Amino acid sequence: VTASARLAAGCTLVACVVQLAIYQYQLARAPVPADLITPAQAAFAALHVDLPATGTVGFVPTLADPNLASASFFVAQYALAPHVLALDLDDARIVIAGPTASAATDADPRLLGFTFVGERSGGIEGGSIRLYRRAVQ
């Protein structure tokens, strides 16, 4: 390796090591965020036994933040595959609401036409996951 290449490699290496060390230091000092996925996933997975073998399962996210609501849908789908979840409740005979549902969720306008069936604790933020069935007309 020529002297100029050695010099360039030395400069590159110093920059790389210093920057990696800075990033590692920042990451080590940053507080570890609470893992919301694992408990929510476990809570949703417990619903496997309550769901019918076939058919679309409706999902009503109960988190106010739209990003978190969207995240809760994907976590529920992750936990409940191969059941197919849908935010559109038109084809759903059964609906899951969570992961922060409570008795007040029953009044959610999206659940009009569905009746409360049961709930499982273990949602996040002290809430639960509630199950609804389409009311017989």
Partner 1 sequence: VTALALTLPILATTLAARRLMRPVGWVQFVECAAIGAGLGIGLSSIPFFLWRLLELPVRTYPIVDGALWGVVAVLAYDRRRPADMAARSTTRVATWALPLVVTALILFLSALVVNARLAHVPHGEWDAWAYWQVRASFLAAPEGWRNTFRPFTGSDYPLMLPAAVARVWTIAGYSAAAPAVISVLFTMSTAALLIASLWKSAPLLAATGAGLLLVPEFLYHGTGQCADVPLGFFLLTSAVVLFPGTTVRRACIAGAAIGLAAWTKNEGLVVAATVPAVLAAVMWRREAPAMARRLIAGLLMGLAPATIVLVLYHVVIDPPSDLPALVADAGPLGKLLDVSRHRTIWRFIASHTAQWGLWALFSPVWFVAAWTVAGAIRRDTSTSLSILAARTAALAILTGTYVVYVLTPHDLAWHMQTSWTRIVAQVWPVAVWTSLAWVEPIRARARPGL
Binding residues for partner 1, rule: CB under 8 A, are 1, 5-6, 8-9, 12-13, 15-17, 19-24, 27-28, 30, 32-33, 35, 37-38, 53-54, 71, 74-75, 77-79, 81-84
* Min dist. Cβ of residue 102 to partner 1 (A): 25
The owner of tokens 């080590």 is 28
Count Cα neighbours of 49 within 13 Å in the Cβ-side half-sphere.
Answer: 5
CB of 49 to partner 1, least distance (A): 15
Q: CA distances (Å), 86 to each of 13, 56, 94, 117, in order?
A: 51, 7, 11, 19
For the four alpha carbons of 99, 103, 105 and 106, in that order, the dihedral sign comes to: positive
Of 30 and 104, CB closest to partner 1: 30
* Nearer CB in complex with partner 1: 60/85: 85
Closest CA to 59 of 101, 122, 107, 120: 101
Closest distance between partner 1 and the C-beta of residue 115, in Å?
A: 26
Q: How far is the CB of 114 from partner 1 (least distance, A)?
A: 22
